[in-house]
Structure 1
Amino acid sequence: MSNQNIKPTEGEMEILQVLWQKGNATVREVHEALNKKDSGYTTTLKLMQILHEKGIVDRDTSQKTHIYRALVSQDKTEKQLVTKMIDNVFNGSAARLVMQALGNHSASADEIDEIKKYLDSLK
């Protein structure tokens, strides 16, 4: 299956975040990084198997312990999900998304400076 249209669930996104950070990881390493009290090892394993079936992660089975790695980039995935959110939730308005995000989460002074520089570069 092609990963052109990535649609990971919330749980799958959490796993992808770990794989993007670590590069390669076993199910045990991902499970421990998630540090979820309400979720068992088998749940993490099943989600990683689903990600593999979707073509979003690769699995090296050459050793006893299987090693997983993301096949999709963090940047591409984030862009695709944000575009989908803008279209579906904010009626196509990127400005509404940004205002909602900044209104709901406090940004650090450094982040605000970075946002201002980015906005200036768009002019």
Structure 2
Amino acid sequence: MKKSLTPLGETEMEVLHHVWEMGEATVKDVKKRIMNDRQVAYTTVMTVMKNLADKGYLKYRKDGVTYVYSPAQEPESVRFNLVKELVKKVFKGSPTELVQTLVEGEELSDTDRSEILKLINNMKEE
């Protein structure tokens, strides 16, 4: 079995972003938002949201017969842990190699580069 680089699949990440943006959401809410970009079955969204709850990324409460999901972890915490795993698996634990890859990447605009530089310089001052 092929193991993913992160504990979250692409659709799981997509669903998580929608829930983060809405604060709380039902399967119907998330399905409606995904349908703006692509076709998706209600049962697919339902399964993904249940899996995210099982993995500890979402929590839920019952409102009548409807499950209302909300984030179980702060987005920053999830992002930090995903990047930490990525650094470990892809860059042999070297954050320097990750930053070097990002900075040398062609997709990085001059604005992105100066923002990164500003972040690093601000860290030095603290």
When normalised by structure 1's length, the TM-score is 0.81
CA RMSD of aligned residues (A): 2.0
Q: Describe the superposition over 1:84-115 as per-residue Cα deviations: whole angstroms up to 9, x where unpaired.
A: 11111011221221232340523362x33321
CA contact (8 A) 2:91 2:98 kept: yes
- 1:82 corresponds in structure 2 to 83
Counterpart-to-counterpart distance in 2, 1:20 and 1:83: 20
Counterpart-to-counterpart distance in 1, 2:77 and 2:107: 23
Task: Write the letter of the residue equivalent to 2:73.
Answer: V
Counterpart-to-counterpart distance in 2, 1:108 and 1:20: 29
Kindly report which structure 2 residues correspond to 1:93-108, keeping only aligned pairs within 5 A, or say none. Answer: 93-102=94-103, 103-107=105-109
Counterpart-to-counterpart distance in 1, 2:64 and 2:44: 22
- 2:3 corresponds in structure 1 to none
Taking every aligned residue pair, what percent have the same amino acid on both sides?
A: 28
- 2:72 corresponds in structure 1 to 71
1:100–1:34 Cα change, 3 Å: farther
- 1:10 corresponds in structure 2 to 10
When normalised by structure 2's length, the TM-score is 0.79
- 2:60 corresponds in structure 1 to 59
User: Unmatched 5+ residue regions in structure 1?
Assistant: 1-5
Q: Describe the superposition over 1:11-70 as per-residue Cα deviations: whole angstroms up to 9, x where unpaired.
A: 211111111111011111111222353531211111111112223211121323321101
- 1:3 corresponds in structure 2 to none
1:108–1:67 Cα change, 3 Å: farther
